Amino acid sequence: MNQLQQLQQFSTIVADTGDIASIQRLQPQDATTNPSLILKAATQDEYAHIIAKGLEDSKHLPTQAQRLQGAIEAVSVGFGLEILKVVPGLVSTEVDARASFDMRATLEQARRLIKRYQEAGIDRERVLVKIASTWEGIQAARLLEQEGIHCNLTLLFNFAQAQACAEGGVTLISPFVGRILDWYKKSTGQDYSAETDPGVLSVKRIYDYYKACDYQTVVMAASFRNIGEINALAGCDKLTISPALLDALASNQEQLTRQLSPTEGQLSMRLSPLSEKEFRWQLNEDAMATEKLAEGIRAFAADLRTLEQKIETLCNTGQLRKMGT
């Protein structure tokens, strides 16, 4: 077997892309999206119908701001609906990154996204609402989970974020392996092997703690830079991987060994619950996590604004009709 096939014996494979053609080709169990991936996909002609339908579905709203927000949400769900036609499992759809520090806005948008999926005939059990792992985001997820809306907490770089997510009963977390590595390489000027990769070590610590304490939150490692990082986390609950790295794994015939197992690392004691003050202090003390969380939110927000500009241009120039609506 190639390494992708071997990896599938240990971990659930998730495609990290908004490109539906790639998902059809790679046939993962689940798929994740974010504003950056949707923006990239939305510039391709084959997905123009998703943009057009999002615009059409939102044109009845009373103000321009509401129409734009409605169109963005409709487009995000539109990509999710297309993805769900080709994956047997779940899709993750992200809330507006600009609501990362606004619990109420996060709650309201998450509920609207789930409502759109349900109106399209999709059971909420097949959707994860993707939220940044800020304190406000985690507390919003805690409430959403109590309502039966499942959440994927993203932009996770720090153990305190993971602890708070588990304590909040979050369905799934996405610790960002590669972005942690990026920060340390830039900060220290060093190269790291898969065994010493700080992103890999961070995920291993979280995984072992969750299993030792019997937390049900799923660990889905994300943001990989090379297949060495992926192989070092073989056995993690889920791995969300870009099409390029999935292809690299599929073309590699080397033997792969399971690295993470729920039966190992059972020595940890459950920590005392984190207060908001303790969470913010631990995050503040971690320069890498503080910087990468802020950078990630800014980047997603910037791509969302670019997508909004694309949609506004289509509305203002009357190109909606040309796109087949």
**pLDDT for res 325:** 42
Contacts of residue 288, Cβ cutoff 8 Å, sequence gap at least 6: 157, 158, 180, 183, 184, 187
Band of pLDDT at residue 265, cut at 50, 70 and 90: low
What share of the chain has pLDDT > 90, as a percent?
78
Q: What is the CA radius of gyration of the chain?
A: 20
Going along the chain from its start, the domains and CATH numbers come out as: 3-322 (3.20.20.70)
Kindly report, residue by residue over 107-152, the tens digit of the pLDDT: 999 999 999 999 999 999 999 999 999 999 999 999 999 999 999 9
- Of 200, 164, 207, 204, the C-alpha closest to 179 is 200
Contacts of residue 318, Cβ cutoff 8 Å, sequence gap at least 6: none
Q: If you average pLDDT over every residue of the chain, what do you get?
A: 93
User: How do beta strands 172-175 and 127-132 pair?
Assistant: unpaired
Contacts of residue 324, Cβ cutoff 8 Å, sequence gap at least 6: 48, 49, 52
Band of pLDDT at residue 161, cut at 50, 70 and 90: very high
- Would you call 1 exposed, middle or buried from its count of C-beta atoms within 10 A (0-12, 13-18, 19+)? exposed
Q: What is the mean pLDDT of residues 12-26?
A: 92
Band of pLDDT at residue 246, cut at 50, 70 and 90: very high
pLDDT at position 323 over 90: no
pTM: 0.93
Kindly report, residue by residue over 169-181, the tens digit of the pLDDT: 999 999 999 999 9
**pLDDT for res 127:** 98
Band of pLDDT at residue 320, cut at 50, 70 and 90: very low
Kindly list the catalytic residues.
130
